[in-house]
Amino acid sequence: MPTLDPVSERLSDAEQALADQQPTVALERINSLPLDTLSESDMQRALLLKGRAFDALDLPVLAIQTGLERLQRAPDPIDEATLQSLINRARALPDELKQLHRRSGSQLAGVIDALALGTNPSESAVARWQRRYPRHLLTRAELDDFQALRSPVTGTPRITVLLPLTGPLGTAGRAVRDGLVAAWTEHTEKEALELSLVDSTTLSHSALTQLAEGISSDLIIGPLDRAQLMQLAQTASQIPILGLNRLPDDNLGHDQLFQLALAVEDDASSAIEWAQQSTAAPRVLALVSDSPLGDRTAMALKRELTAIGGSTAGIYVMGTADNGALIADALGVNASESRRRDLSRLIGLPLTSTPRIRQDLTAVVVQSDAQTSRQIRPLLAYYYLREVPVYVMGGFSPALESYSR
């Protein structure tokens, strides 16, 4: 009696498990197979069974995603009847599930975004969809409802940058502008991008809303001002927004809004990520300012370290006066000197020693104003902090003070 090869045997086991109403067992059999190494027919069979298992477990999103993956991996021509059925299932998903999966960039996200375009999308909306999903199933299928997505679209991606170039935040805005322009100038395909710089200081609410409609732009970078970013977040924006400030978590329901801020929480996250390069669970000493920003930094560092299994070697709050004694204490120099005195008294002889800093540090993170940070650098060097790296957090420029808060 001929024996089945291992792949066919596992797929047959999965099929039998589905017949026996054991979808979890079926998934275990399928997931044990290296999908990318299977023959085309075995791969299609595996994905078909996997989708059926997800349906049996009442997991419609995973079932739709698997079905789309199966069609994506299949050769042309596309099984348009199956694709249309999956599209109809995606259309019927609850709105909250659609919003959750639109950010993923997956085949399902492409279907959801295509459905949101409607039956008569603008050329700019089609161009944005095509740039985001260049190899999507819908561009291979001959479905009448999505014919516009297969049309060649010319045009340059348009990026609008909203920055305060005048007023109290003008210095910070111009610094960000200069960085963006420098990056754009050095980009190898800068001719393929259209960059528009707008002074957000005098921008009206109606002008902000009009930009969010996507008629004159494909992407918004900015604004810096939190109130203006809040206004944008409350619009039904048709294009992605890369906000340059941080909004409270309860204002993040906007599926097109992304945040990149100079907030100390972001800088603390970067600091711990940097410290983790040398060890999976870093032990970090923090020197922070005596201010609300310092309090936020301390909380953020603790949170980031706890999340990765790291720890703090102490959080020391620096004042406006001389911080030499505080840093000596933080680095263990005072403890080293105390041990020398105790030993000298014990043996009754004068001793000299070179203070040794504590040996349990992965890194030192400093958050303060520019003047204090400049004072700290020579102090750290004086106390033999040569081997331990130091991360000086940004956002301490007076020009950025009101923005970073």
CB atoms near residue 35 (< 10 Å): 14
pLDDT at 332 (0 to 100): 64
- Domain covering 158-259 assigned CATH 3.40.50.2300 in the classification: yes
Give the list of residues 6+ apart from residue 204 with CB closer than 8 angstroms, or none. none
Whole-model pTM: value is 0.50
Is the Cα torsion angle 10, 11, 16, 22 positive or negative in sign? Answer: positive
Question: For the segment 144-188, what is each residue's pLDDT rounded down to a tens digit?
Answer: 889 888 887 666 778 899 999 998 888 888 888 888 888 888 876
Better-predicted residue by pLDDT, 18 or 337: 18
Q: Could you tell me the pLDDT band of residue 403, with boundaries at 50, 70 and 90?
A: very low
Where in the chain are the domains?
A: 6-149, 158-259, 265-404
Listed range (16-20, 77-81, 324-328, 396-400) with the worst mean pLDDT? 396-400
Query: Class assignment of domain 265-404?
Result: alpha beta
Q: Could you tell me the pLDDT band of residue 194, with boundaries at 50, 70 and 90?
A: confident
pLDDT at 401 (0 to 100): 43
pLDDT reading at 399 higher than 60: no
- Side by side, the strands of the sheet bearing 241-243 are 194-199, 158-163, 219-221, 241-243, 257-259
Per-residue pLDDT, averaged over 110-123, amounts to 86
Better-predicted residue by pLDDT, 129 or 350: 129
Q: Which of 299, 288, 246, 271 is nearest to 362 (CA)?
A: 271
Per-residue pLDDT, averaged over 51-59, amounts to 94
pLDDT at 68 (0 to 100): 94
pLDDT reading at 398 higher than 60: no
Listed range (3-12, 73-82, 151-160, 234-243) with the worst mean pLDDT? 151-160
pLDDT at 132 (0 to 100): 78
Q: Which of 376, 168, 172, 404 is nearest to 292 (CA)?
A: 404
Q: What is the mean pLDDT of the chain?
A: 81
pLDDT at 155 (0 to 100): 65
Q: If you compute the radius of gyration of the chain from its CA atoms, what whole number of angstroms results? A: 29
Q: Could you tell me the pLDDT band of residue 384, with boundaries at 50, 70 and 90?
A: low
- Side by side, the strands of the sheet bearing 283-289 are 311-318, 283-289, 363-367, 390-392
pLDDT at 1 (0 to 100): 45
Q: Could you tell me the pLDDT band of residue 23, with boundaries at 50, 70 and 90?
A: very high
Contact 44, 70 (CB under 8 A): yes
pLDDT at 212 (0 to 100): 82
Using a pLDDT cut of 90, give the percent of the chain over it.
Answer: 25
pLDDT at 224 (0 to 100): 85
Listed range (11-20, 91-100, 172-181, 321-330) with the worst mean pLDDT? 321-330
Per-residue pLDDT, averaged over 345-353, amounts to 66
Contact 219, 156 (CB under 8 A): no
CATH for 6-149 (1.10.3720, 2.60.120, 1.10.357, 1.25.40): 1.25.40
- Give the per-residue SS3 of the chain: CCCCCHHHHHHHHHHHHHHCCCHHHHHHHHHCCCHHHCCHHHHHHHHHHHHHHHHHCCCHHHHHHHHHHHHHHCCCCCCHHHHHHHHHHHHCCCHHHHHHHHHHCCHHHHHHHHHHHCCCCCHHHHHHHHHHCCCCHHHCCCCHHHHHHHCCCCCCCEEEEEECCCCCCHHHHHHHHHHHHHHHHHCCCHHHCEEEEEEHHHCCHHHHHHHHCCCCCCEEECCCCHHHHHHHHCCCCCCCEEECCCCCHHHCCCCCEEECCCCHHHHHHHHHHHHCCCCCCCEEEEEEECCHHHHHHHHHHHHHHHHHCCEEEEEEEECCCCCHHHHHHHCCHHHHHHHHHHHHHHHCCCCCCCCCCCCCCCEEEEECCHHHHHHHHHHHHHCCCCCCCEEECCCCCHHHHHHHC
Q: Could you tell me the pLDDT band of residue 397, with boundaries at 50, 70 and 90?
A: very low
Tokens in use for 121?
């999308």
Please check whether the two domains, 6-149 and 265-404, share a CATH topology. no
pLDDT reading at 348 higher than 70: no
Using a pLDDT cut of 70, give the percent of the chain over it.
Answer: 78
d(CA 371, CA 320): 10
d(CA 358, CA 339): 13
pLDDT at 337 (0 to 100): 60
Per-residue pLDDT, averaged over 239-264, amounts to 74
Question: For the segment 268-291, what is each residue's pLDDT rounded down to a tens digit?
Answer: 888 898 888 888 889 898 888 888
Per-residue pLDDT, averaged over 227-256, amounts to 76
Contact 376, 391 (CB under 8 A): no
Better-predicted residue by pLDDT, 297 or 349: 297
pLDDT reading at 352 higher than 80: no
